[in-house]
A and B are shown apart, each in its own frame.
Chain A
Amino acid sequence: MSTNASAIENIQGIGRPWMEVLHEWVTTVDHKGLGLLYILYALSYLVIGGFEALIIRAQLMHAHNHLVSPQVFNRMFTMHGTTMIFFVAMPMLFGFANYLVPLMIGARDMAFPRLNAFSFWLTALGGGLLYFSFLGGNGLYGAGTAPDVGWWAYAPLPAKAFSPGHSSDYWTIALLVSGLGSVGTAINILTTVLCMRCPGMHLGRMPLLVWLNLVMSGMVLIAVTPLTAAQVMLLVDRYLGGHFFDTQAGGSATLWMHFFWIFGHPEVYILILPAFAFVSEIVPVYSRKPIFGYPVMVGATVFIGFVSMSVWAHHMFTVGMNSYANSFFTITSMVVGIPTGIKIFNWIGTMWGGRIRFKTPMLFCLGFLFQFLVAGLTGIMLASSPFDWQLGNSYFVVAHFHYVIVGGLLFAIFAAFYYWYPKFTGRMLSEQLGKVHFWLFLIGFHATFDVMHIPGILGMPRRIYTYEPGRGWDTLNLIVTIGAVIQAAAILVFVCNLAVSYWKGANAGKDPWDAWTLEWSATSPPPAYNFATIPVVASRRPLWDLKHPEDPDSRYE
C-alpha cells in the first residue's frame, strides 16, 4: 500500500532519489499508477508509430520516389499499423479505463491489482519484442529486418517459405503476448465493474464510461482470443512444421483471413467504444445537461457489441465469397449503423437546449462528432459490397479507417487528456496551447485524410511503395504528406503542453469542470485508497445531487 501511496505522490513531483521513484513505478500495483504507465507507454509509441507514418508519407510524396527501398517501406507500414493498433490504441484505452473505472464506481482499486500489473508488463513486453525485431529479425547477425507482412499477415505471406528469418515470429509472439495482457485486463475490468461498485450504484446508475468499458471488456474476451488462437496455429506452422496455413499442403489462405477478421472487426469497435465513453462523459458536462437517453445509449452499446461479432467478412468482399455471403455481411455491416446513429443523435440531443462551453475537451469532442459521422458514412459505402469491389484495398479504405481512428478515436483521446489530466496530476493543461494543438491538428487531419479519399477513387491501391506518374495521384499525395507534417507539429505542441503544464500548470483542485461523477469528489490526484470512506450514491450524477440538494436527480430515478 505504502508503495502505491508514494507512487501517486511522485506524480505531484515530490523529489526523492530517482532509483527509489523508478522502483516504485516498476513495482506499483495501484490502478492509478498502472493507468498512467499504460498511457505514457502508449504516448511514446504514438510518436514512434507516427514517425513511421511520416516516413511512409515522405516516400509517397511524389511518383517514383527513391527515398526508401520497397523492403523498408513494407516494414514501415507493417510496423506502423501493428504499433498503432496494439501498442497505441489498446494500451491508451486500457490506461484510461484502469485509472477511471474504479474511481467512477467508488472503488479503492481494481478487483485484481497484481493481475493488473502483470497484464501491463505483458503488453510492455509485447511492444519490446515487436521492436526488437529490428535487431533480431534475421537473428542478431543481420540487422534491419522488422516484419513486412502487413498488419493482417495474410497467409501464406508469414509462412516460412515466404518469410524466412524471424521477423514474422517477432510479430506473432508480440501480438500473442500483448493479447494475453489484453485478456487479463479485460477480465479485471469486467470483474471490477461487476463486483466492486459502491453501495447504491446498481447497473442502471453506472456512468456511461463504465458501461462502455464493461461491454468493451466483454468483447475483448471473445474477440482477442481468436487472434491468440490463430497466432498459436501460425507458430505451430512455423516451428513444428504444421500445415494450418500452408497452401502447399492443402492449407487454406482464406481460413486465416476469417480468423484474423473475426478478431479484426470487433477489435475496431473495441477501440471505438472507449472513445464513445469519453465523449459520453465530456459532452454532458460542457453542455451542462445529463446525457440524453441514458438507457437507449446502454442498449445501443450492447447491440453494437453483439452485431459487430457478425460483420467480419466485410473485410473480405473481394476474396470471392458467393452472393449470399456477400449480401449477409452487407446487411449486418449496415445494421451496425443504426445503433451507432442512435449514439450520435443522443449526443446531439445532449447538446440541444444546453449551455455549451467551448473548453478544449469540448472542442475535441465536437471534432470527434463531425469526423466520426463522415467516417461512418464512408464505412457504409464500403459495406455496400459491389462498391467495395472497387474501393477495397484502395486508399479510400485507408482514408476511411484513419478518419475513424484518428478523426474519431484520437480526437476523443485528446479530449480525455484535456479533461482528466487535472485529475491525474492536480494541474490544468494550458488552455492556449490546447487551442493551438486543436486547430493545428484539425487542419493537419483534414488536409491528410479528406484528400486521401480521392486517390482511392482514382484507383490508387494501398501498400505500394511507389506509383506511376500521370494517374492524377501526384499532387494529392503531396497534399496528404504536408497534412501529416502539420499533424506532427500539432502533436509536438501537445507533448510540450503535457510537459510544461506538469510543472507550471494552474492548480486544479478537486473539481475544475464542475462535473458530476465520483472521480471528481476525490482530491487531484486521488490518494492511493481513492476514498477515505466508500461513497454511497443515489443517482447517476452523485455530485449533482450533492451540489443541488434542492433538486437532486435521485428524485426522478
Chain B
Amino acid sequence: MQGYLIASSTNILAPASTPARTIFGLSLFVLGITALIFVVVAGLMVYSVVKFRARATDAAREPAQVCGSTQIELAWTVIPALIVAVLFLATARVIHAIQDTPKPAAALDVIVVGHQFWWEFRYPKLGIVTANELHIPASDRARPTPTFLKLTSADTDHSFWVPELGGKTDLIPNRVNQMWLDPPRPGIYLGQCAQYCGTQHAKMLLRVVVERPADFGAWVSAQQQAAIQDARVSAGKRVFETNVCINCHAVSGTAADGRFGPDLGHLMSRATLASGAAENTPSNLRLWIQTPDAIKPGSLMPAMKLSDADLDAVTAYLETLR
C-alpha cells in the first residue's frame, strides 16, 4: 500500500528515463525555434498594424498600389525552408535514437496487454502475470537494466503513456508494438491510457513502480509463489469458487483460471483497485465486488448480487491474497 499517496507528477517536462529525457531535449529545441519564429512574425504583424493604420488626415487618399516583389518572396521562401531542414534533422536524430536502440541482454521483457479497461502485465521469463501496476527494476548508468515492453491489445486500441518515463505507444489488436524505459530513480510513476478505448477510458489509470534491484527481486519471488491458502477464509474461497468469478479471474492454485479480468492471485500486493479507480482498502474492495459501477461506472465487471455474508466472506478471502 505504501506509495499510494506519494505519487509523482505526470509532467512531460520532468523526464526521469532516457527516452523521456531525449524527447525533452528535442522539445526544448523545437520550442526555442518556434518561439523565435513567433516573436519575429508576430512582431512584424504588430508593427505593420500600428505603423500603417489609417489616420484621419490621409484616410481619403489611396496608398501606393504595390502588388509584389520577387526578391522578398524568395527571401521568405528560402529562410523557412532552411529552418525546416534544421528542425527535421534534429527530429530524425531523436527518432532514430529512441526507436532503433538495440535491446541489451540484461533487459527485462514485459508483455503489456490492454483490456477494456485495465492493464495486464506478463513477465514471460519470470512466469508472472499481474495487472494495473507495472513493477520494474531501477536501471543504473553503469550496468543498465532497461525494461522492454511488447504492447498489444485484447479488444480495442489503447495507449501506454507514463509521461515522465517516455512517449506513448498504442496497444492495437493483431499487432505488437515495442517501447523501452530505463528509469534510474526508484519511485512511483503515474500515467494512464491515452487512446480512447470505450466507456471507461478515463479510469484506465496506470502506475509504474520502479524499485531498487533488491526490492524488485523480492517482489518477483513473492509474485512467483502460488496464491496463499488460508483455512480461516475457506468460506470466502468457496464463495469465490462457486460463483462466476472464476470464469473471469485467475487465482493460482484454485479452480479460478479466467482471463477476462485481472489476475487476483496477489491482489493485495497492489495499492489500487480496478486500475487506479480506487485505493485498495477492504471497504473499497467490498464495494467494488458489490457494485463495480459505484467505483467505475461502465466497467465490464458485472455486479455479482452476493448476499452480505458472502460479500464479507469473499472480501476476507481476497484480503489474504498477498
- Does B214 lie at the interface of the complex (its beta carbon under 8 Å from any beta carbon of A)? no
- Does A180 lie at the interface of the complex (its beta carbon under 8 Å from any beta carbon of B)? no
- Given A338-B77, A370-B42, CB of A392 within 8 Å of CB of B68: no
A253 with B174: CB separation less than 8 A: yes
- A534 CB to closest chain B CB (Å) equals 26
- Given A337-B84, A348-B45, A393-B168, CB of A458 within 8 Å of CB of B202: no
- Residues of B within 8 Å of A408, CB to CB, are none
- Does A289 lie at the interface of the complex (its beta carbon under 8 Å from any beta carbon of B)? yes
B91 with A384: CB separation less than 8 A: yes
Bound together, the chains give a CA A154 to CA B173 distance in angstroms of 12
Bound together, the chains give a CA A386 to CA B68 distance in angstroms of 39
Bound together, the chains give a CA A156 to CA B298 distance in angstroms of 18
Bound together, the chains give a CA A386 to CA B87 distance in angstroms of 12
- Residues of B within 8 Å of A253, CB to CB, are 157, 172-175
- Does B65 lie at the interface of the complex (its beta carbon under 8 Å from any beta carbon of A)? yes
B10 with A389: CB separation less than 8 A: no
Bound together, the chains give a CA A71 to CA B296 distance in angstroms of 12
- A506 CB to closest chain B CB (Å) equals 20
- A404 CB to closest chain B CB (Å) equals 15
Give B1-35 as 1s and 0s: 1 = Cβ < 8 Å from A's Cβ atoms. Answer: 00000010111110000001011001100110010
A459 with B201: CB separation less than 8 A: no
- Does A464 lie at the interface of the complex (its beta carbon under 8 Å from any beta carbon of B)? yes
- A390 CB to closest chain B CB (Å) equals 4
- B16 CB to closest chain A CB (Å) equals 13
Bound together, the chains give a CA A250 to CA B156 distance in angstroms of 14
B34 with A356: CB separation less than 8 A: no
- Given A293-B68, A320-B169, A390-B12, CB of A459 within 8 Å of CB of B174: no
- Does A503 lie at the interface of the complex (its beta carbon under 8 Å from any beta carbon of B)? no
Bound together, the chains give a CA A460 to CA B200 distance in angstroms of 15
Interface residue range, chain A: 35 or more
Bound together, the chains give a CA A446 to CA B196 distance in angstroms of 27
B92 with A353: CB separation less than 8 A: no
- Residues of A within 8 Å of B49, CB to CB, are 351, 356, 366
- Does B64 lie at the interface of the complex (its beta carbon under 8 Å from any beta carbon of A)? yes
User: Which residue of B95, B197, B198 contacts A386 across the interface (Cβ within 8 Å)?
Assistant: B95
| B-facing residues in A301-351 (Cβ within 8 Å) | 318-320, 322-323, 326-327, 330-331, 334-335, 337-338, 341-342, 344-346, 348-349, 351
- Given A162-B155, A253-B173, A366-B49, CB of A338 within 8 Å of CB of B84: yes
- A70 CB to closest chain B CB (Å) equals 5
| A-facing residues in B152-184 (Cβ within 8 Å) | 155-157, 159, 161, 163, 166-170, 172-175, 177-178
Bound together, the chains give a CA A344 to CA B43 distance in angstroms of 13
A318 with B202: CB separation less than 8 A: no
- Chain B residue with the shortest CB-CB distance to A249: B174
- Chain A residue with the shortest CB-CB distance to B195: A393
Bound together, the chains give a CA A348 to CA B20 distance in angstroms of 39
- Does B221 lie at the interface of the complex (its beta carbon under 8 Å from any beta carbon of A)? no
Bound together, the chains give a CA A495 to CA B205 distance in angstroms of 42
- Residues of B within 8 Å of A346, CB to CB, are 73
Interface residue range, chain B: 35 or more
B194 with A457: CB separation less than 8 A: no
- Does B72 lie at the interface of the complex (its beta carbon under 8 Å from any beta carbon of A)? yes
B30 with A384: CB separation less than 8 A: yes
- Does B230 lie at the interface of the complex (its beta carbon under 8 Å from any beta carbon of A)? no
B42 with A320: CB separation less than 8 A: no
- Given A71-B199, A352-B48, CB of A252 within 8 Å of CB of B76: no
A-B contact count (CB 8 A): 266
- Does B146 lie at the interface of the complex (its beta carbon under 8 Å from any beta carbon of A)? no
- Residues of B within 8 Å of A377, CB to CB, are 34, 37-38
- Residues of A within 8 Å of B69, CB to CB, are 293, 349
Q: Which of B52-60, B123-131, B302-310, B313-321 lines the interface with chain A?
A: B52-60
- Residues of A within 8 Å of B178, CB to CB, are 320
- Residues of A within 8 Å of B10, CB to CB, are 458-460, 471
Bound together, the chains give a CA A331 to CA B91 distance in angstroms of 9
Bound together, the chains give a CA A301 to CA B200 distance in angstroms of 42
A320 with B177: CB separation less than 8 A: yes
A292 with B192: CB separation less than 8 A: no
Give A346-370 as 1s and 0s: 1 = Cβ < 8 Å from B's Cβ atoms. Answer: 1011011111111000000010011
A386 with B193: CB separation less than 8 A: no
Bound together, the chains give a CA A136 to CA B140 distance in angstroms of 58
| A-facing residues in B86-144 (Cβ within 8 Å) | 87-88, 90-92, 94-96, 98-100
Residues of chain A touching chain B, judged by Cβ–Cβ distance below 8 Å, are 69-71, 74, 148, 150, 154, 156-157, 162, 247, 250-254, 287-296, 318-320, 322-323, 326-327, 330-331, 334-335, 337-338, 341-342, 344-346, 348-349, 351-358, 366, 369-370, 373-374, 377-378, 380-381, 384-394, 457-468, 470-472, 548, 551, 553, 556
The 5 A-B residue pairs with the shortest CB-CB distance, nearest first, are A389-B167, A459-B10, A320-B177, A464-B202, A247-B173
The 13 listed contacts between A and B (C-beta, < 8 Å) are A157-B197, A296-B68, A322-B99, A334-B84, A341-B76, A349-B69, A389-B169, A392-B167, A392-B194, A393-B168, A394-B194, A467-B202, A556-B67
